[in-house]
Structure formats: C-alpha cells, structure tokens
C-alpha cells in the first residue's frame, strides 16, 4: 500500500526493516525515506542532534526537518500512533508542515511527560486534552539538508 500513500509514518526500526538496511544516521534515514515512495514521510525515533534527546524526522518535496525534545525513559505505548494522528490533524487544519511537526511533537512530548509523572503505563489522553489543543512544551526545530540538494561527486 505504500505506493498509494501520500504520507507514511514509520518509526526508525520499521523504516530500517522496509529499507533492508541499518539506519544509523539522519542522512541514511532521509535516503531511506526518499526511497520509500510516498511524497511525505515522518520518521519517529530519529537520531537526535541534542544530547539526551530524541527526534521526529520529516521529509517532503520541500523540507527535511528534525523536531527534537528531551528523551523520557520508558514511554507508554502508542506514541508513534498519537504523533501520526496529531501531525495529520495539524496538516488538515492548514498549518505549514514545519508548524504541524513542531506542534504535534510538542503535544506528544507533553502527554508522555505527564503520563509518566502520573506513573501511568498508558497515555493519559483524557486528562491531557489541553496538550493536544495548545501544547506548551519547547521543541527544537532544525532544517536538514534535503537529499535532493546533495550533489554527487
């Protein structure tokens, strides 16, 4: 079904499996995402550039972006699905790809942090609905070199 998709949202492990190769750098993640087929790919659990962090890597025909936040140990399951849903919702609201990624990443980070603080083993979406609507968490945004801009030697 990937050839029919306009947006794919694999995590790093899933993308490595689909690509049939280890993906140990953001450059290899971008190359694999470009070869996946859909014009837009959002890869969760990307390689962070900041120490003690994690990131979400987004590639489209226009952008290569990395949204990073502090890593939270033992996050509840479902964070990738939540990020995918919130990112798509933000795009459908008409936000730019960069702003949609920033806000979706902030929302998910807040919900993970609050769920862990409560000691919950599941995402506490009902209690944290405000984090979906208006996230307050700081997210480091970086523009990366898009693979189409790299010229072969």
Query: Which tens digit of pLDDT belongs to each residue from 75-113?
Result: 998 999 999 999 999 999 999 999 999 999 999 999 999
Q: In the numeric block, which tokens belong to residue 13?
A: 């492990």
pLDDT value at position 63?
A: 83
pLDDT value at position 55?
A: 94
Q: Does domain 2-149 have CATH number 3.40.1190.20?
A: yes
pLDDT value at position 150?
A: 62
pLDDT value at position 145?
A: 83
pLDDT value at position 40?
A: 96
Q: In the numeric block, which tokens belong to residue 98?
A: 């960069």
Q: Which residues of the chain have pLDDT under 50?
A: none
The SS3 call for residue 17 is helix
pLDDT value at position 3?
A: 84
- Which residue from 50, 88, 90 is spatially nearest to 66, judged by alpha carbons? 50
Say how far apart CA 32 and CA 30 lie, in whole Å.
5
Reported pTM: 0.92
For the chain, the structural domain boundaries read 2-149
């Amino acid at each position: 079904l990937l050839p029919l998709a306009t947006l794919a949202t694999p995590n790093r492990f899933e993308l490595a499996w689909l690509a049939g190769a280890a993906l140990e750098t953001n450059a290899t993640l971008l190359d694999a995402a470009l070869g996946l087929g859909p014009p837009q790919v959002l890869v969760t659990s990307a390689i962070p550039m900041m120490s003690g962090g994690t990131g979400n890597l987004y590639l489209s025909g226009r952008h290569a972006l990395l949204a990073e936040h502090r890593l939270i140990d033992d996050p509840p399951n479902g964070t990738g699905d939540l990020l995918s849903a919130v990112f798509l919702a933000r795009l459908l609201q008409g936000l730019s790809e960069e702003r949609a990624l920033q806000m979706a990443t902030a929302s998910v980070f807040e919900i993970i942090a609050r769920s862990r603080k409560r000691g919950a083993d599941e995402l506490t979406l009902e209690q944290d609905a405000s984090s979906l609507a208006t996230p307050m968490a700081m997210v480091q945004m970086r523009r990366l070199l898009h693979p189409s801009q790299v010229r072969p030697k």
